[in-house]
Amino acid sequence: MYCKISHNIKVVVIWLYEHNFLALDDILDYCGFSEHTWYYILKLWHNTGDIVPPKSSLHGYTLHYLCHLIHQNLDYFLDMLLYLLETNHFIFVNYATIHHELERTNISQKKLKCIALECNEPCQAAFISHMAQYSPEEVGFFNEMSKDDHSALLSLDGIVASMVVEGSMTKALFLKYLEFNVVCWYNYNSNIH
């Protein structure tokens, strides 16, 4: 027979279980939970501090604000993100909601590490110092080389060397591109000026 168990009873049962006053078999028997349901409730309790899964997710501007906070301040912990959402947007969420939204927007730990590496101020300063030895005419930028797309070199003169590749760019193709497109353009351009 199904019987809805109140929120308070579930919290008390978790407390009794965690303090070794009730064994798991007794809890399952008294409450009528399956073992799967019990561990689901226990996991929710440990992850969120509540036994009810978060009902709402962040939308629109709030989600954009959360992503902006993460990109600008990689050293913020979840509690700081919670605090900023509460104080700046009057939105009260739990850790699991933020975690869920980060996963939903594909902000993984790997992406955060990449963003953090890009935000390394000493490395940025060293790069700027190193690049200062070149004149603007000697600097070029490659676009992202994606599948079935073209690769191009952007300089002060605009796009100066490009190559269309079917499939992914390999190391051999990239070296060929550098040798026959970029270096040839640079040598030609150097002789004109």
Q: What is the pLDDT along the chain (193 residues), one digit of tens a residue?
A: 456 777 778 888 888 888 888 888 888 888 888 888 888 888 888 877 777 766 555 556 666 777 777 767 666 666 777 777 777 767 777 767 777 777 766 666 677 677 666 667 787 788 888 988 988 877 877 765 554 566 777 777 777 777 777 777 778 888 888 888 878 877 777 776 6
Domain boundaries, the chain: 7-48, 60-117, 136-192
For residue 163, what are the contacts with CB-CB under 8 A and spacing of at least 6?
150, 151, 152, 173, 177, 181
Return d(Cα 97, Cα 160) in angstroms, integer. 47
